């Protein structure tokens, strides 16, 4: 950055010369001086149009109903700062996502209905009137930009020879000085520059075909851009960091995440640390939730890292569509089934087949192992749950309730098959009244507890279940309680407290969704309403 004079003066120059970069007359749209993006590339890049062409900016789809961009895009006078008032946009704003070529009809155009500004930096979350389907959002970086690191930038602004380009443009930039919430950018090629209309656009890492959003572009000298004074040769730019405010982003977008789903159609719930590359219970983030829907589709809700108890999840990943093989799932549980530390799912299918996916994440299901073939006695397994019922801390055990009312414990169960069965109870009509079961850690015993919801509304904890059987029971809810309306439940760590598996998430038959944080031997301690 040498030769530019005092840094404070340079930053002021950036703001006054380009924060109003999207302010235009007429209906012109405006892009990064660089190469035209290939058809279908960087579809998470969004074009924002304010006031029917009076102002244009670029943004990034970070969740199917939210775009992240620069707050100064919406400021009355961007030269006076980026602080804006949250709520509905003052002028009609439309957002186009997934359209590399603006002259085509690909992608989606939708109205913006709410602004949630960050306040302490040039960032705003833009809520869309409806979710955008079929476009993978960019993920937020978890590490800060590094000086000398190469990032890619995309934008719909002007180029060196186009006032209103029809295509998304892209160029590589190198990271310069990193100072607090901002960092400098310099083009890797002679022509690379950010121009009017590129404000709010993404600066991102590319790895394994995925985009990791590092910053949101906020200012540029605009050297080489159409309409800039030819005497201006400086092409440096400034971007606002997002890696250190991921919690705020997650908390904002999570507000619309769960209410979008029709929870009355959820037929199976399973918790686990599925995403994050084998995250263990001492992680700072909350557990994920796997859901199978009535139409055969399957979703994975990623656990959030922020502290707001009302929003335990930060993203939904659609793993399978309607009509998939998941319509044949009859019992599902999450757990550790290998010694790698990753977590997966064990499933009892309608055919009697029992299988384990040793790992599940946002990309799908990995390494399926068949534990029992079609037509096996496992077609009589009515309810299953995985938990640490023996001293083996590396793999979970499987507790099974059969349709004749008997229960069994399978220890040392995993990708290599079922090793050992211990019958805990014989056929018992009383156990046929169990509606849901789940493993948890409510009492601090050496082995996992078993949570059972009975069909009369009672909910009980069986503490410290092991190969010797059951050792008493603890009453959580009484007979004929409102828990008769609990259609599905999952036990996990949804509060980002201590990783202990003692939060009970319930899907009610009214389509509401809630959870009870920190349940223990003393009972339930409040309810957090998520949907309803």
CATH number at residue 481: 2.120.10
393 — alpha (psi -120 to 50), left (phi > 0) or beta?
Answer: alpha
Check whether residue 395 and residue 527 sit in a common domain: yes
Within-domain flag for 463: yes
Check whether residue 73 and residue 37 sit in a common domain: yes
Pairing of strands 407-411, 364-372: unpaired
Phi, psi of 378 (to 5 degrees): -70, -10
**What's the CATH number where 34 sits?**
2.40.10.120
Within-domain flag for 2: no
Check whether residue 103 and residue 228 sit in a common domain: yes
Q: How far apart are CA 7 and CA 2, in angstroms?
A: 9
Q: How far apart are CA 530 and CA 527, in angstroms?
A: 9
Check whether residue 239 and residue 268 sit in a common domain: no
Tokens of 467: 């190969």
Instruction: Looking at 201-307, list the stretches that DSSP marks H as alpha helix, in order from N- to C-terminal side.
Output: 246-253
Residue whose token pair is 């757990």: 335
Phi, psi of 299 (to 5 degrees): -130, 155
Q: How far apart are CA 33 and CA 196, in angstroms?
A: 10
Check whether residue 239 and residue 353 sit in a common domain: no
Q: Where are the beta strands (DSSP E) in 264-363?
A: 266-272, 288-293, 298-303, 313-320, 329-335, 344-349, 354-361
Check whether residue 234 and residue 263 sit in a common domain: no
Within-domain flag for 252: no
Decide: 17 and 9 in contact? Cβ < 8 Å.
no
Within-domain flag for 283: yes
Within-domain flag for 519: yes
266 has which bridge partners? 293
Check whether residue 434 and residue 522 sit in a common domain: yes
Tokens of 20: 């109003």
Q: Which of residues 195, 213, 247 is at a domain's end?
A: 247
Q: Which of residues 213, 247, 281 is at a domain's end?
A: 247
369 has which bridge partners? 356
Q: How far apart are CA 134 and CA 374, in angstroms?
A: 35
Phi, psi of 380 (to 5 degrees): -95, 0
In this predicted structure, what is the pLDDT of residue 347?
A: 97
Residue whose token pair is 């299918």: 349
Q: How far apart are CA 217 and CA 206, in angstroms?
A: 17
One-letter-per-residue 3-state SS of 175-204: EEEEECCEEEEEECCCCCECCCCCCCCEEE
Q: Where are the beta strands (DSSP E) in 388-448?
A: 397-402, 407-411, 420-425, 434-440
Q: How far apart are CA 298 and CA 293, in angstroms?
A: 6
In this predicted structure, what is the pLDDT of residue 378?
A: 94
Decide: 193 and 53 in contact? Cβ < 8 Å.
no
Burial class for 303, CB neighbours closer than 10 Å (0-12, 13-18, 19+): buried
Phi, psi of 433 (to 5 degrees): -85, 0
Within-domain flag for 165: yes
In this predicted structure, what is the pLDDT of residue 76?
A: 87
Check whether residue 236 and residue 263 sit in a common domain: no
Structural domain total, the chain:
2
Tokens of 88: 């509905």
The residue segments making up the domain with residue 172 are 7-247
- Computed on alpha carbons and rounded to an integer, the radius of gyration of the chain in Å comes to 27
Within-domain flag for 161: yes
Task: Divide the 532 residues of the chain into consecutive groups of 10 and give the mean pLDDT of each group.
Answer: 27 29 28 64 93 90 95 86 91 93 88 96 96 90 93 79 70 91 84 79 88 90 63 74 91 90 96 70 74 97 86 90 97 91 93 95 92 93 96 87 96 72 93 97 95 97 96 96 96 82 95 95 95 91
Q: What is the DSSP letter of 325?
A: G
Q: How far apart are CA 121 and CA 514, in angstroms?
A: 34
Count of C-beta atoms within a 10 Å radius of residue 464: 19
Within-domain flag for 1: no
In this predicted structure, what is the pLDDT of residue 242?
A: 96
Check whether residue 441 and residue 297 sit in a common domain: yes
Pairing of strands 210-220, 139-140: parallel
Edge to edge, the sheet with strand 420-425 lists: 381-387, 397-402, 407-411, 420-425
Q: Which of residues 225, 247, 269 is at a domain's end?
A: 247
Check whether residue 242 and residue 324 sit in a common domain: no
Q: How far apart are CA 187 and CA 221, in angstroms?
A: 12
Check whether residue 284 and residue 230 sit in a common domain: no
Q: How far apart are CA 351 and CA 133, in angstroms?
A: 33
Check whether residue 34 and residue 93 sit in a common domain: yes
Phi, psi of 327 (to 5 degrees): -65, -15
């Amino acid at each position: 950055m040498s030769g530019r004079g005092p840094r404070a003066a340079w930053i002021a120059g950036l703001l006054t010369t380009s924060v109003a970069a999207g302010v235009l007359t007429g209906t012109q749209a405006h892009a990064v001086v660089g190469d035209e993006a290939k058809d279908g590339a960087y579809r998470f890049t969004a074009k924002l149009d304010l006031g029917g062409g009076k102002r244009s900016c670029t943004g990034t789809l970070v969740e199917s109903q939210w775009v992240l961009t620069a707050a100064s895009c919406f400021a009355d006078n961007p030269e006076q700062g980026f602080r804006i008032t949250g709520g509905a946009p003052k002028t009609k704003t439309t957002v186009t996502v997934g359209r590399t070529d603006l002259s085509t009809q690909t992608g989606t155009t939708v109205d913006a209905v709410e602004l949630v500004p960050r306040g302490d930096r040039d960032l705003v979350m833009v809520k869309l009137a409806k979710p955008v389907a079929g476009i993978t959002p960019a993920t937020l970086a978890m590490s800060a930009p590094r000086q000398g690191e190469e990032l890619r930038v995309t934008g719909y602004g002007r180029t060196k020879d186009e006032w209103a380009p029809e295509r998304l443009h892209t160029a590589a930039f190198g990271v310069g000085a990193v100072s607090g919430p901002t960092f400098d950018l310099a083009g890797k090629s002679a022509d690379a520059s950010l121009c009017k209309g590129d404000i709010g656009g993404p600066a991102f890492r590319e790895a394994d075909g995925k985009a990791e959003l590092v910053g949101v572009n906020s200012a540029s000298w605009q050297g080489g851009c159409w309409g800039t004074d030819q005497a201006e040769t400086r092409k440096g730019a400034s971007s606002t960091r997002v890696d250190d405010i991921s919690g705020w982003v997650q908390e904002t977008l999570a507000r619309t995440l769960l209410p979008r789903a029709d929870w009355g159609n959820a037929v199976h719930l399973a918790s686990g640390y599925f995403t994050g590359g084998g995250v263990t219970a001492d992680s700072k983030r909350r557990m994920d939730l796997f859901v199978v829907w009535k139409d055969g589709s399957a979703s994975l809700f990623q656990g959030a890292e922020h502290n707001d108890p009302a929003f335990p999840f930060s993203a939904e990943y659609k793993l399978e569509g309607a009509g998939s093989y998941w319509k044949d799932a009859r019992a599902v549980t999450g757990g550790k089934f290998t010694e790698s530390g990753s977590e997966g799912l064990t499933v009892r299918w309608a055919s009697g087949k029992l299988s384990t996916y040793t790992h599940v994440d946002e990309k799908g299901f990995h390494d399926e192992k068949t534990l029992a073939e079609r037509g096996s006695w496992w077609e009589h397994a009515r309810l299953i749950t995985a938990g640490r019922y023996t001293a083996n801390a590396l793999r979970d055990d499987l507790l099974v309730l059969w349709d004749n009312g008997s229960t069994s414990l399978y220890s040392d169960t995993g990708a290599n098959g079922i090793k050992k069965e211990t019958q805990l109870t014989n056929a018992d009509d009383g156990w046929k009244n169990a509606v849901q079961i789940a493993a948890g850690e409510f009492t601090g015993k050496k082995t996992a507890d078993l949570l059972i919801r009975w069909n009369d509304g009672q909910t009980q904890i069986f503490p410290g279940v092991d190969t010797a059987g059951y050792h008493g029971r603890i009453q959580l809810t009484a007979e004929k309680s409102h828990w008769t309306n609990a259609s599905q439940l999952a036990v996990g760590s949804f509060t980002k407290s201590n990783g202990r598996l003692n939060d009970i998430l319930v899907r009610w038959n009214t389509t509401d969704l809630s959870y009870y944080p920190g349940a223990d031997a003393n009972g339930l301690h409040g309810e957090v309403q998520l949907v309803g």
